[in-house]
Structure 1
Amino acid sequence: MEPPSSRPDPDDFDLIIAEPAWRRLVPRVETIVRRAAHAAGMQGTVVLAGDRMVRRLNALHRGKNKPTNVLTYEEPAPEAILALGVVRSEAAAQRRRVAHHLAHLVVHAALHLRGEDHAHPGDARRMEMMESRILRGIGVPNPWKRA
C-alpha cells in the first residue's frame, strides 16, 4: 500500500471567473491559475473577480472600503478572491507581466490558506522564500528580486 501523497488532489480546486475581462487581460488565465494553485497546494476555490466585488467584501469583512489585490477566507470553505483592476495596476507599477503577478498572488493566497502569514519580518521573509521557490518551479520570475 502506498502512503498518501502530500500533493493536493486537483479535484479539490475550483476556479470561478466572475469577471470576464480576466480572459481578455490574461491569455490562458485558467492554465496560469491552475498551475500556480496546484504548485502551491491550493485546495478550495479561486475567484477572479472585479474590483467592485472585492471592495464590497473588503468593506464587509475587514472594514476597509476599497479593493485589495486578494482576499482569502477559510470559512465556510477555503477561497481566494482576486480583484482585476488592483492586480493589473500593481503589475504595471512593478513592471511585471499581469500573468506573473496573478500567479504570485494565487501562490500567496494558497500559502495564507495553509496557515502562513507575513505579520512579522521573519515570517515575511520565510513566506517570500516559499513563494519564490514555488514560482520558480512554474517558470515565474522571483517577485522579490529587484531588476
Structure 2
Amino acid sequence: MSHPNLPITEVLVVADCWQREPDSETVIQRAVAAAAENVDEDVADAEVAVMLTDDAGIRTLNGNWRGIDKPTNVLSFPALQPEGEWKPGDAPRMLGDIAIAYETMRREADEEHKPFDHHLSHLAVHGFLHLIGYDHENDDDAEEMEALETQILAHLGIPDPYADRPGTN
C-alpha cells in the first residue's frame, strides 16, 4: 500500500540473479519514499518504475541510450511531462524509470565493504534524484546531489556513502 503523499514505486525484476536478494523490493520502496520525503519537489501520486536487471541488460540500455558499451550500476530515464498542471485525481504522473544492475551493484558493495541493502538504497535514491532533475555533470551539482543523497540515507540509518572516498575527510 502506498502513502498518499509519496510516489507509487513499481519494482520489476527481470533478471534471476535478484532472487538472491528477496528484500530488494522493500529496500527500494523505502529508499524512494525517504527520497520523496526529503526533497522540495511535489511527487505525491507520481509513479516511479524500477527495473532490477543484470549487467547484460543494463549494458544494452547504456549502449542504446548513452552510447556507452559497458555495464553501469544505475541508469535513470526521466519521463517527459505532459503540458498543463497535474491535479489530484488525474492518472498518476510518471516520473520515469530506474534500472539497477545486480552484478555491478553487488561488486561495488563488496569492494566498498558496504551492506548490500545500503548500497541498493543509495542507488535507488541516486536514480530517483536524477528523475526529478538532479545531476552531477559539474562539481557544484555533484556536491549538491551527494549532500542530498547523504541526508536522505541518514534518515534510513545508512552512513554517508561518500565518507571513505579518497580526498574526503
Which TM class, normalised by the smaller chain length?
0.7 to 0.9
Equivalent of 1:107 in 115, 119, 125: 125
- Unaligned segments of structure 1, at least 5 residues: none
Aligned counterparts, 1:1-147, within 5 A? 7-9=5-7, 12-24=8-20, 26-41=21-36, 43-75=47-79, 77=94, 78-146=96-164
CA contact (8 A) 2:59 2:72 kept: yes
Structure 1 window deviating more from structure 2 (49-58 vs 91-100): it is: 91-100
Superposed displacement of residue 75, structure 1: 3.3
Larger CA deviation: 111-120 vs 34-43: 34-43
CA RMSD, aligned part only?
A: 2.0
C-alpha deviations, 1:16-36, integer Å up to 9, x for none? 111132131x35212111100
Separation in 2, partners of 1:30, 1:20? 14
Structure 2 unpaired stretches of 5+: 37-42, 81-93
User: TM-score under structure 1 normalisation?
Assistant: 0.87
Deviates further, 95-104 or 41-50: 41-50
Larger radius of gyration: 2
Question: Does the CA contact (< 8 Å) of 2:18 and 2:52 recur in 1?
Answer: yes
**Identical aligned residues as a percent:** 36
Aligned partners of 2:78 and 2:130 also within 8 Å: no
Closer, same or farther: CA 108–15 of 1 in aligned 2, 3 Å? same
Distance 1:79 1:105 in 2: 13
